[in-house]
Chains A and B, each alone.
Chain A
């Protein structure tokens, strides 16, 4: 069964850092692009960042560029999102999602999400 399990969320103060992880199973992780998508409380979906499969090119939304870093460890089947200089507006549920091929496209599998709260 294809599965994505996020972890690492929590409460952090403004200006702080957090690293999210997404453990993947049930598919050849290195062959697929992956993304992080977030959803602020009561709001819609916002694509945050993506990374290609084996080649590893990365992409970011303007709202997080320069503060967030996406990476992957294909040997551990794990996706990461390092979040620095966090702001109140980064408060959201963060979902990990698998794309349908090695480049970002539509997202066919989603994790259940991990909650990040930025507050003093």
Chain B
């Protein structure tokens, strides 16, 4: 099974500054036949269900602000928030959906305001 590891576990960033969260998979999630990375990012605010932010590693879900961006390929991925807003305080998870389930999540990164 593919293991997803996020870093850091927690992060404190000042309002308006850039936040960067990393995600590493134990094997490549790049499907060579279509050149797509089977990697998604989710945001979970306290007391709420997760919300899809990014899929195919870099495609923003409809309605997600453009300050959120995803990058990376193969085994190394990054979620970047270009200018942190107060409403971005949340836990962020990456998830791989490569091949047959189980589709594992990273352990989560808690983002707070400095």
Contacts and interface: CB of A to CB of B under 8 A. Distances in A.
Interface in B85-101: 91, 93, 95, 97, 100-101
Given A44-B108, A104-B97, A106-B97, A61 B102 contact: yes
Contacts of B1: 62
A112 interface: yes
Interface residues of A, number: 22
Given A44-B105, A47-B104, A59-B102, A111 B49 contact: yes
B103 interface: yes
B50 interface: yes
A35 B42 CA distance: 15
Nearest to A105: B97
A73 B98 CA distance: 26
Q: How large is the interface on B (under 10, 10 to 19, 20 to 34, 35 or more residues)?
A: 20 to 34
A50 interface: yes
Nearest to B97: A105
A30 B100 CA distance: 20
Contacts of A59: 100-102
B87 to A, nearest CB: 18
Given A106-B40, A106-B95, A47 B50 contact: no
Nearest to A44: B108
A100 to B, nearest CB: 7
Interface of A: 35, 37, 44-47, 50, 59-62, 95, 100, 104-108, 110-113
Interface of B: 1, 38, 40, 42, 44, 48-52, 55-56, 61, 91, 93, 95, 97, 100-108
9 contacts: A35-B101, A44-B107, A45-B42, A47-B95, A104-B103, A106-B40, A108-B61, A112-B48, A112-B49
